[in-house]
């Protein structure tokens, strides 16, 4: 069956995006995608280099007559967020993405699409192959493991790049140029737990689902529900009113995704089923009222399950539920300088029982380093009060906006020529790799732009086809003008 993107324009870009959807590329497992990129570079006789962790740098000489142009680079990341709805039989390590078209939008069947950052990577590859784009000396940077904490960018060495202009192709809103971003930090809480024999005679699976989720930087201000907090609050209440014994608890998928789903397996005597279900129905009604139009699909359901033989010690279960219900989550401060921009936030992201511990993952973001560290300290304090050990890792810097830089002035001039108006200059509450890599190259001027991608990091992810066409026209015009 022909691909739904086979006939889309620009064909030189979409053919590579189509290929990438067929290549499994979860974070840390980008080897096949990297080989695809290297194969194209080798076929065209381009210079290839890289680093010890797997980031790739490819150099392409200037188009005839553009040899004296200022060197620039195009950058994108090879990995994608792997999110799917519960019950969907999709293995991200082996299965291709099933791409669907809905009018002017592309989406995937029940999974993330990988337009973040597949479209940016595909655009770079199209430029790499092109004989028609009249560009100056170019470098192409393809990084790994961006989605779990910008790890590839963090390990990227100084002294490798030659370009003055750094063009990141990972922005997700047409008509905008991103000129700054937040720094981030991961904070993990762990509690050693005891297991004991279950005393209740029936098993139940509690499920929180139907939430939108989304990117913990881009969507943190949208008022969406957090499945872990909802689950924690319900368990806290249920354990106060019924002899509920918690056997397992899990939820969330990644530190940079707002958790959409969470689950708990509990033991509770069969005669208490009616009361337990009534509590779930009441809690669902309360959350629907609380979230309103921000997240109207929230569901709290109870399913019959096999009775667990072992359950968590009551105190361990109680402290875990209390922490989930009380953990800071969401916007902590708005920017005083840029209207509508979140300045500092924290995301309650994941929970799992592993190797005798309950582990809770969170992430903090801020454009201000001291505020980022203060947010992490606040989370650490709350976790320690609940008897959890806490450690932070994966910190990365923010990127200070420079709206008057030479590259921004050039990009604005081209934007007016192509679209008839200047772009809106924005800063992102998400982390961008140009901020991390750029810190190692003082004097390098940076900008980020791209097509419109909605709901990245969730199975609702979709990309606007017409915006990709505009993105390609703009990228070509920029490369020919700088």
Using CA atoms, how far residue 383 sits from 27, 65, 236, 326, 361, in Å, is: 28, 61, 16, 9, 11
d(CA 458, CA 58): 31
Cα 461 from chain centroid? 11
Give every residue of the chain whose pLDDT is below 50, as ranges.
none
Whether 77 contacts 142, CB under 8 Å? yes
Give the model's pLDDT for residue 1. 52
Going by the DSSP 8-state scheme, the letter that residue 291 receives in this structure is H
Q: Which residues are catalytic?
A: 79, 146
Whether 428 contacts 217, CB under 8 Å? yes
Provide the whole-model pTM.
Answer: 0.77
Q: Which domains does the chain have, with CATH numbers?
A: 11-182+398-481 (3.40.630.10), 185-396 (3.30.70.360)
Place of tokens 């359950």: 311
Q: Which two tokens stand for residue 299?
A: 């569901």
Q: Which two tokens stand for residue 262?
A: 């969470």
Give the model's pLDDT for residue 349. 97
Relative to beta strand 99-102, strand 105-108 is antiparallel
């Amino acid at each position: 069956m022909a691909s739904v993107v086979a006939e889309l324009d620009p064909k030189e870009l979409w053919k590579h995006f189509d290929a990438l959807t067929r290549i499994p590329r979860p974070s840390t497992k980008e080897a096949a995608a990297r080989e695809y990129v290297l194969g194209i570079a080798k076929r065209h006789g381009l210079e290839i280099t890289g680093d010890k962790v797997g980031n790739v740098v490819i150099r392409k000489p200037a188009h005839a007559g553009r040899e004296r142009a200022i060197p620039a680079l195009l950058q994108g990341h090879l990995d994608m967020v792997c999110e799917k709805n519960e019950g969907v039989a999709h293995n991200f390590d082996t299965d291709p993405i099933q791409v669907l078209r809905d009018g002017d939008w592309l989406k995937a069947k029940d999974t993330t699409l990988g337009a973040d950052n597949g479209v940016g990577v595909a655009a770079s590859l199209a430029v790499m192959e092109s004989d028609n784009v009249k560009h100056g000396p170019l470098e192409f940077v393809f990084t790994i493991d961006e989605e779990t904490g910008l790890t590839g960018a963090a390990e990227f060495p100084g002294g490798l790049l030659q370009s003055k202009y750094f063009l990141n192709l990972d922005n997700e809103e047409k008509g905008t140029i991103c000129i700054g971003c937040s720094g981030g930090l991961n904070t993990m809480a762990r509690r050693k737990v005891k297991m004991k024999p279950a005393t209740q005679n029936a098993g139940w699976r509690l499920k929180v689902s139907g939430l939108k989720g989304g990117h913990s930087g881009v969507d943190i201000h949208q008022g969406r529900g957090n499945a872990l907090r909802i689950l924690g609050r319900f368990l806290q209440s249920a354990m106060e009113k019924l002899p509920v014994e918690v056997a397992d608890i899990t939820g969330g998928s990644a530190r940079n995704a707002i958790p959409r789903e969470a689950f708990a397996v509990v033991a509770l005597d069969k005669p208490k089923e009616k009361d337990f279900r009534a509590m779930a129905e009441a809690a669902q009604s309360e959350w629907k009222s609380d979230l309103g139009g921000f997240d109207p699909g929230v569901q709290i359901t109870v399913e019959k399950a096999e009775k667990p033989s072992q359950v968590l010690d009551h105190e361990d279960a109680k402290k875990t539920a209390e922490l989930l219900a009380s953990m800071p989550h969401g916007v902590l401060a708005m920017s005083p300088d840029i209207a509508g921009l979140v300045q500092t936030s924290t995301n309650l992201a994941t929970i799992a029982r592993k190797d005798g511990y309950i582990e809770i993952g969170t992430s903090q973001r801020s454009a201000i380093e001291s505020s980022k560290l203060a947010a992490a300290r606040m989370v650490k304090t709350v976790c320690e009060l609940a008897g959890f050990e806490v450690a932070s890792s994966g910190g990365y810097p923010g990127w200070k906006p420079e709206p008057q830089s030479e590259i921004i002035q050039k990009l604005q001039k081209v934007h007016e020529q192509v679209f008839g108006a200047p772009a809106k200059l924005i800063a992102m509450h998400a982390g961008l790799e140009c901020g991390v890599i750029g810190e190692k190259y003082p004097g390098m001027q940076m900008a980020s732009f791209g097509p419109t991608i909605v709901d990245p990091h969730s199975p609702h992810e979709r990309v606007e086809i017409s915006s990709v066409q505009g993105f390609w026209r703009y990228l070509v015009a920029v490369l020919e003008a700088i």
